[in-house]
Copies of this chain bind each other. A is one copy, B any other.
C-alpha cells in the first residue's frame, strides 16, 4: 500500500451532499463536532480512507477484532422529499497524516472524491486558540473560499476577518483544494484555550452549525458531550498522575 485510498462500503447515492469534516486537531473541536453529529443523525458508514501517511497502527476492539486506523465518511440521508434537499457526509477519523506530503495527498483525494459524488459545499471544523485559559463564552470564527457566503454566516454570529495566522492540516488544506477544484469550502473554528478536549468550543460550533444547516438535533445532548468530554479529560489527567506516581496495571496499551 503506497498511496492513500478511499473504499466505498455502501452503494447508496448521496443527493446534493454537503461535506462536514471533523478530524482530530486543536482542542479536538473537529472530532467532537463530527462524532456528535454522526451519532445524533445516526449517519451510516459510507466510505473509508486508508493511508500509509497515517501511523502504522491497528486499534483493538472489545469484540476481539481490530480495525486499521482511518478516516471515515458517514452518510446522513435527508428524509425531506423536496427538490434541493441535501444529504450530509460527515468525515471523522483517528488521525491526520503525519507528514506534509501526506497531508497534501490525502486532502486533495478527499476533495476529488467528494466532487465525484456531485458535492459542492464543504465545512471543516477546528479549534482556534486565543488564550491558554478556560474560555467561558467561546466565539466562533470562520474563513471561507466563497465571499458571497460571508453575510449569511455573519448573521449566524460567525465572526469573519478577526482570526489570523495559519490553519494546519485538513481544516485548512481542504479549503485550498476546494478552491482549486471549483468547490466552496468554509472552515468554522470554535474559540479554545489550550485544552486537550474542549467541549465548550465544540458546543458553540454545533449550535451555530445546526441552525445554519437547519438540522433537527436534540440540543440537550450537547450538555452530554460537554460532560462526557470533561470526564474524559479528567481521566486522562488522572492517568498521567498515576503514571508519575508509579506503575499501575493495564495502562500500557500499545504493542509492536
- Contact surface of A with B, Cβ cutoff 8 Å: 1-3, 25-26, 52-68, 96-98, 100-101, 103-105, 107-108, 126-133, 142-145, 147, 150, 160-161, 163-173, 175-177, 179, 187, 189, 193-194, 247-250, 252-256
**Distance between A101 CB and nearest chain B CB, rounded to angstroms:** 5
Please list 29 pairs of residues, one from A and one from B, whose beta carbons are closer than 8 Å in the complex, sorted by A's number.
A26-B254, A52-B100, A55-B100, A55-B168, A56-B168, A57-B166, A58-B173, A58-B176, A60-B167, A61-B143, A62-B164, A63-B161, A65-B143, A68-B176, A68-B179, A96-B256, A126-B255, A126-B256, A128-B252, A130-B249, A133-B247, A164-B253, A165-B252, A165-B254, A167-B254, A168-B255, A171-B255, A172-B255, A172-B256
Complex interface: chain B residues within 8 A of A194 (CB): 252
**Distance between A145 CB and nearest chain B CB, rounded to angstroms:** 7
Contact, CB under 8 Å: B98 / A100: yes
Contact, CB under 8 Å: A52 / B2: no
3 tightest CB-CB pairs across the interface, nearest first?
A165-B253, A168-B256, A129-B252
**Distance between A1 CB and nearest chain B CB, rounded to angstroms:** 4
Complex interface: chain B residues within 8 A of A252 (CB): 128-132, 165, 194
